[in-house]
Structure 1
Amino acid sequence: MKAISIVIVLAVFMLNHNLSGRNIHVLTLEKSQQLARQNSFKMRSLLEDFKIARYELRAARNRFKTQVNLKFDLPDYSETISSLQDSAGLHYFPLKQARYNAYLQIEQPLPTDGFFYLSSGIYHVQDYFLQEQSFRLNTRLGFEQPIESFYAYNRIKSSLKMAELNYRLSEKRLLRAQLDLEYEVASAFYSLYSALERKNIALQTLRQQRDAYQLALNKFKAGVIAEVEALQMEVDLGEAQNNFDLSLVEVQQKADAFKQLLNIDLQDSVILNTDLTYPIVKIDLQKALEFGFKNRLEIQERKIAIEQQKLTLKRIDAENQIQGKISAYYDFIGVRQEPRYYALNTTFQNAWEELKKRPGNRGIAFSITIPLWDWHVNKNQTLAQKARLHQQQMALKDLEITIKRDIRNTVMELESSLKRLQLLEKNVAVAEKSFAISKNRFANGDINSQALALDRNRLSQAYNSRLNALINYKLLLADVKRKTFYDFVNDHPVSLDDYLQQE
């Protein structure tokens, strides 16, 4: 393992360089990623989508539990004209009533899409025109069961399955967005670091060129070298100064982009604190493919779409099958009508006595609907849905091949990047020794300024190449993580809980 521990202070180059009164943010890569998650509108929106899916799943599960409702009318008063038609003709009479009722409904859904229910109500009517009052007591125990749910389409189970699919999809979307944002922040973080390092390399080159120019100027004054060589060194110094100035502009641009991504005020300053230790990671391709196929959002979206298409196919197909319903009930009713001057408790007691004496009502029914002919409307709808399902299945197979190629290519790029990084580190060591030797040889007059400039350019190029290879390797590690949902650096699967606990 090659450790390169670096603390970089990012000074914001504005028109006013006085940073007093501005906020200073000390950021590691992990802190930057956490800050981006907290400030990202997309992440907050996806988190709300995840919460919505979770609540809807809970609601779908709770539909299997007992539901209790209580309804009151306190009061329901009306004054109107009503009519009655009998053998003597049509009669109109005034109606002036106040109704009071309390109604309790207890319902127990069944996994078969049916339900048991118990309903009980108390109804009291005050008739101010007839000067009468009445009580009605009613309690019913009932059962309803659609028969098509046994062989065609079960609505309550399908709703639960759909809610579970939406929850899984929302979970995968949120996790993938977390990993994508993590990669985006890492890219911006290392891009800024790269710009700062290039600035440092440009500054080092500028200092080396100043030393070389001063040495060449002294040698020219001593008559050791020709004037053209001294002039060439002056040109090289100007170019080095220009490259350094351009690097300052690049740092400013990268810093602004990084702060915008993290939703930090552009007037603020940031300090990047990063340990660029890079681990030597060997990727198990089979494990990468296994976790990629299991967790990739694109595959999960296709699989969930296929499950949803199957449920839709069942629902469409059920519309042309035999449908029916079994229902049964048993209830008790007690009704009593008394003059208004009777006490309420007396009327209620009389209604209760009536309920106890009256035999219970009962009923059972079996209704059935048999589709006979619809000009093949349902058949064609079913065939169209089957074609959509087949289309989704073909798309899934093609997508699996694409993702397999994508993961394989990324793993191979990672292996090549590691080898290149290790090679370039050796190249930097060689370039540093070569430039030190050339610098001494130029001072002794053994080589001219062009040879020295060549070795200096090789050293700068070696620094930049190593820097690019290091950043590319770190980003490829993050890319493998987001494409496989597996953290090969720490050797554990990535889960949404890891991110939710950080919030």
Structure 2
Amino acid sequence: MNKFYYYVALLAIAWGVNLSAQAQKRLTLDLSRTISLANDSSLESFRTQNMYLSGYWQYRTYRANRLPSLTLDMTPAQYNRDITKRYDSGQNLDVYRRQQSYYAYGGLSVRQNLDLTGGTFYLESNLAYMRNFGDNRTTQFTSVPIRIGYSQSLVGYNSFQWERKIEPLKYERVKKEFLYNVEKVSETATTYFFSLAMAQAEYKLARENLSSTDTLYRIGEQRHRIAAISQADLLTLKLDRVNAQNTLQNRASDLKRAMFSLASFLNLDKDTQIELELPSHSQSVEIPVDEAILWGRSNNPQLLELKQNILEAERSVDKTKKEARFNASVNASIGFNQVADNFGDVYHKPMQQDLIAVSVSVPLLDWGVRKGKYNMARNNLNVVKISSRQNEINIEEEVIMTVSDFNIQQQLIASAEEALDLSILAYNETKQRFIIGKADISSLTLSLNRQQQAQRNYISALQNYWLNYYKIRRLTLFDFATNLSLSDRFDFNGGHIIR
């Protein structure tokens, strides 16, 4: 009976372990798949897309403001009952009178802004109704069947013209900034990928090292019995095994942490078990520095932002300069209007209505306030130009250094790969020589350390290569491997991002 319960318990444990293994999702990723997941599912990619959509709708709003606008203004009902002060011409004095009235209004207006002059054309039509209650009951309708007009600031600041210069550049920067952030996400995904790759390699080395040190310790015990090695050498082998056990535990912790970081960044389940396939470096791609600088100047959103800052500073100078002078504006309109006691006559034989208004505002004494604002704006423009030039130099220098590092890194990968192969052969040879008693422990330990370091150097070289590759794509928004601009792979129409 006891055996029966024993087998039942074993089956339950085995079943539980199987369920636990199934609950953990396993996923094999290479670098390309990791970057694709990052740009599709990561929280950073969602933030990038919403930043673009915000800029897209801002540009749509600007374009909509350039089109005619139709507005309906209504006051369906306004009832008023109070005592108000009125002038009595017969008695030549003010008196308080009771007032009770009803009022309603409705109007349509069409407006069109004109970028060239900064003025506004308008077309209006309205109808109003008023009824007074009390001793003298009256009902009146008033209408403006049509009125056409134009308002214009004669020497003032033209905001429409500046928006026409700035807003398209701002939207172009938003599009390029989206591509820039996509490549930035690719860089971050590459960093997490190789952090996990390094952790997996370190864990694998630690596991192999533990197996190797355990084997060597058992061999050392046998050789110690025949006095082939000293007690100190045997203790050293035992110490190596203990250190290997501790190292394996630490590397397992590092592996778990790196795997969790990558899974969190990719917005995957935290229990996902990820296995990585190291990429090889692509075919040799020699990037000309001059070509990279040209693409960076035309595509880099940071340089577009510098141009936008200069335009905005120039707009501020123009505005403060014109506001420092006198202001003059004109408003002219022509149309028809009529008033009648009934609705049937309110549109009968309307009278012509003309309006021409010119207003002038001349600052006589402001103690230098407007002049100070103008000087501040002009000095700020100079600061923005100098800062922009310095930032442009810094960006070009970053492009030059990154391209140089990338071109050198291709050679370093080949050297690191060769060094890794040699270190593995050297370690295996030293290990065999130690087993047959022709190598000491110091030589074996040194050979193992060299193999581990060669493994780290190879992964680091791969990481630096791919980080520089995506950094160049980010700085230039150009893929030199395929000779295509990154903007050719995206469609921004309708505010939808299609990759």
Q: Compute the TM-score of the two structures, normalised by the length of structure 2.
A: 0.85
The whole-number CA distance in structure 2 between the counterparts of 1:392 and 1:352 is: 59
Q: Counterpart amino acid of 2:214?
A: R
Question: Structure 1 residue 272 and structure 2 residue 275: aligned?
Answer: yes
- Mean Cα displacement is larger for which, 224-233 or 110-119? 224-233
Which position in structure 2 is the counterpart of 1:349? 344
- Structure 1 residues 109 and 95, CA gap change in structure 2 (3 angstroms): same
| Alpha-carbon contact 2:132-2:138 (below 8 Å) kept | yes
| Alpha-carbon contact 2:148-2:333 (below 8 Å) kept | yes
Which position in structure 1 is the counterpart of 2:10? none
Which position in structure 1 is the counterpart of 2:138? 132
The whole-number CA distance in structure 2 between the counterparts of 1:481 and 1:379 is: 46
Q: Secondary structure of 1:447's match?
A: coil
Structure 2: segments with no counterpart, 5+ residues: 1-16
Q: Secondary structure of 1:490's match?
A: coil
| Alpha-carbon contact 2:169-2:304 (below 8 Å) kept | no
The whole-number CA distance in structure 2 between the counterparts of 1:110 and 1:411 is: 47
- Structure 1 residues 426 and 44, CA gap change in structure 2 (3 angstroms): closer
Which position in structure 2 is the counterpart of 1:72? 74
CA offset digits 1:321-340 (Å, max 9, x no partner): 34322322222222123xxx
Question: Structure 1 residue 51 and structure 2 residue 53: aligned?
Answer: yes
Q: Secondary structure of 1:470's match?
A: helix
**Cα distance, 1:314 vs structure 2:** 0.5
**Cα distance, 1:397 vs structure 2:** 1.9
CA offset digits 1:411-452 (Å, max 9, x no partner): 222233222221122222222333333334334433333333
Q: Percent identity?
A: 21
- Structure 1 residues 244 and 183, CA gap change in structure 2 (3 angstroms): same
**Cα distance, 1:390 vs structure 2:** 0.8
- Structure 1 residues 194 and 16, CA gap change in structure 2 (3 angstroms): farther
Q: How does 1:246-395 map to 2 (within 5 A)?
A: 246-266=250-270, 268-274=271-277, 276-279=279-282, 280-337=284-341, 347-355=342-350, 358=351, 360-372=352-364, 374-395=366-387
Q: Counterpart amino acid of 2:180?
A: R
- Mean Cα displacement is larger for which, 103-112 or 373-382? 373-382
**Cα distance, 1:171 vs structure 2:** 3.6
Which position in structure 1 is the counterpart of 2:12? none
Which position in structure 2 is the counterpart of 1:9? none
The whole-number CA distance in structure 1 between the counterparts of 2:84 and 2:177 is: 61
The whole-number CA distance in structure 1 between the counterparts of 2:261 and 2:18 is: 19
- Structure 1 residues 158 and 478, CA gap change in structure 2 (3 angstroms): same
Q: Compute the TM-score of the two structures, normalised by the length of structure 1.
A: 0.84
- For residue 429 of structure 1, the aligned residue among 404, 418, 421 is 421
| Alpha-carbon contact 1:53-1:163 (below 8 Å) kept | no
Which position in structure 2 is the counterpart of 1:141? 148
**Cα distance, 1:209 vs structure 2:** 2.7
- For residue 187 of structure 2, the aligned residue among 157, 160, 183 is 183
Which position in structure 1 is the counterpart of 2:6? none
Q: Counterpart amino acid of 1:233?
A: L
Higher RCO structure (Cα 8 Å, ≥6 apart): 1
**Cα distance, 1:310 vs structure 2:** 0.4
Q: Counterpart amino acid of 1:290?
A: L
Question: Structure 1 residue 208 and structure 2 residue 234: aligned?
Answer: no
Question: Structure 1 residue 122 and structure 2 residue 127: aligned?
Answer: yes
Q: Secondary structure of 2:297's match?
A: helix
- For residue 86 of structure 2, the aligned residue among 54, 74, 84 is 84
- Structure 1 residues 288 and 62, CA gap change in structure 2 (3 angstroms): same
Q: How does 1:419-458 map to 2 (within 5 A)?
A: 419-458=411-450
Structure 1: segments with no counterpart, 5+ residues: 1-14, 338-346
Alpha carbon RMSD of aligned pairs, Å?
A: 2.9
Which position in structure 1 is the counterpart of 2:398? 406
- Mean Cα displacement is larger for which, 441-450 or 306-315? 441-450
Q: How does 1:156-175 map to 2 (within 5 A)?
A: 156-175=160-179
**Cα distance, 1:256 vs structure 2:** 2.5
Which position in structure 2 is the counterpart of 1:340? none
**Cα distance, 1:307 vs structure 2:** 1.0
**Cα distance, 1:45 vs structure 2:** 4.3
- Structure 1 residues 318 and 218, CA gap change in structure 2 (3 angstroms): same
